[in-house]
Amino acid sequence: MSQVTAIDTITQLAKQLKIDSIRCTTQAGSGHPTSSMSASDIMAVLLAKHLNYDFDNPKSLTNDRLIFSKGHASPLLYSLYKACGAISDQELMSLRKFGSRLEGHPVPEILPYVDVATGSLGQGLPMALGMAINGKYLDKNNYKVYVLLGDSEMAEGSVWEAMNLASYYKLDNLIAILDMNRLGQRGETSIGWNSTLYAQRASAFGFHTIEIDGHDINQIDKALVEAKANTVKPTFIIAKTIKGQGVTLTANKENWHGKPLNASEAKDAIAELGGIQEVTIKVNKPKEIKLPKNEKLDLATVKTLEFTDKASTREVYGDTLKIIGDVYKNMAVIDAEVSNSTYADKFKHAHSERFFEMFISEQAMLGCGIGLASLNKVVFASTFAAFLTRAYDFIRMGSICRSNLNLCGSHAGVSIGADGPSQMALEDIAMMRAIHGSTVLYPCDAYSAMHLVMLMANHNQGISYIRTTREKTPIVYNKDTKFTIGGSHTLKESAKDKLTLIAAGITVFEALKAYEELKSQNINVRVIDLYSIKPIDKVALHKAAKETGKFIVVEDHFVDGGIGDAVLDAFTLDPHSEVVPTTCLPQVLKLAVRRLVGSGTPEELMDCAKITAKHIVEATHKLLK
């Protein structure tokens, strides 16, 4: 095999990338060869001359980063890995097979050269935003972040959110490459080959723009040299390409998206491209620089807070971020222009060099958080809980990325009061419970909020979400109270309990009021603060079910998918577990938000939703009958 050095050999490599993209998709019987072929010349130049990457140490923080935002072009990405010896030809031919590392769209962890999962379009550039911010402002490293974008995904608003933020932060280490091949899944894109219009838009968003022929090796090389030399702005290279380029059957033809060539067609296409190539390259390795070690947070070193009066859990969230940041330098906080309401600004004022304002760009914020987390930063991202719903696909993809990302949603439930339903998160618990491997926490008071935020900072097991309350709430716990992810606290308990009240967050106090009223009526009930909704404390719930037989679950959330459903799930059989619950399913009554409410005081709205102490007492009498 020859080592790539000359332009003509890069041309040969580009043909090999096209051929291998055809071969592996034909073998798989599915995939996207034509979307890979359009960018093969670009990637051949990048790999052979410009990318600095140590494939023997893919997790090195000095490596350049390469993100295929058009993740369906994974056959090209995997062909790149083969060309530099990171994977074998045999593995390349396992594309899309069950158990293969080479899935239909790239995912990290199983394939160490992949930093983030892509394939849901419009997400690669926001994730690259986080990586570029990390390189320029946190690690102060000189690596470049290359992102291959498809022209269809340029219709996604998240791309433009990321472009706005990239120029705001002057990310000259970010190089976006647009594979402008004109054809989307069902035909021509809205802009087609109008390179000038793309350039005008990118320039308006503060990018340095370069227009090239994406199949001209010299133009590609010159553009990458220019992009790397730029020290003022992020760069946007607009490469005019042909989908399915190099093969008469597919070049610039519709109805070839996501369609492999059959065996006969593949044979002819490979022959037209000059036959199977045997090019291998040695990728340039980055210069090693000393970076601080990312030590795990020692919670014992974090100064705990003291509370003597009512406090809102949203404000304690900010207080706790600040005290963790005092001792933990590997932490970054991002917020969507509501940091004076989420109180993330407390971290900002103390550690401004590690706080990044994402403005009202929730999708870009979540993508940025995933990018930062992929490079070992402990990241907290916050906004109003209702607004996380618009970035839900990023949260979903964050789970597929195996991202350790901490989210805070404030202003949850009808208890926010007069702002009205557009600001009320009433779906967020259900939304976050549905994320694979997620953690969902809901503190009721200042101390529980402080302890749970600390636990999140040290958890590092997927997507973690904490729901915070707008209103100030009374103190229930103290600084020495122990909390665990997956735990709960039984606040009231006796041997005569006839029923269990289960609450979390704001409704804990309604449950405690109801307890006092019922006690005055000689009715004993148990009260559980279910601060960890996922994972849930099955031991405490099964004990309560065995001893009381009846539950009332009270929550400031829509009835569907909320805490009540989480409680019921704790009693279902798990087909993947050998442990069979011995407790029969208790009677469960759900007090939850069942209608849209308007503006009003928190008290009025909670009463309207029938989740106050008065309604708990009434429900108790009905259930005990």
For residue 205, how far is the Cα from the chain centroid? 24
Closest among 285, 282, 269, 316 to 473, alpha carbons compared: 316
387 Cβ contact partners less than 8 Å away, ≥ 6 residues apart? 336, 362
- 573, 538 contact by CB (below 8 A): no
Annotation marks residue 362 as catalytic: yes
Closest among 95, 55, 101 to 75, alpha carbons compared: 95
Query: Cα separation of 599 and 415, whole Å?
Result: 10
Q: Which two tokens stand for residue 586?
A: 């208790």
Amino acid, single-letter form, for residue 196 = T
Query: Cα separation of 125 and 394, whole Å?
Result: 12
* Residue with the two structure tokens 């665990």: 484
Query: Cα separation of 410 and 422, whole Å?
Result: 14
- 491, 481 contact by CB (below 8 A): no
Q: Reduce the DSSP state of residue 69 to 3 states and report it.
A: coil
Query: Cα separation of 420 and 418, whole Å?
Result: 5
Q: Which two tokens stand for residue 597?
A: 């409410």
DSSP state of 585: P
Query: Cα separation of 240 and 226, whole Å?
Result: 18
* Cis peptide bond N-terminal to 126, omega within 30: no
What is the number of H-type helices and E-type strands within the chain? 22, 21
How far does the chain reach from its first CA to its final CA, in angstroms?
83
Among 161, 211, 362, 555, the one annotated catalytic = 362
Other CB atoms within 10 A of residue 310 CB: 12
Q: How far is CA 402 from CA 107, 138, 534, in A?
A: 9, 22, 17
Positions annotated as catalytic residues are 362
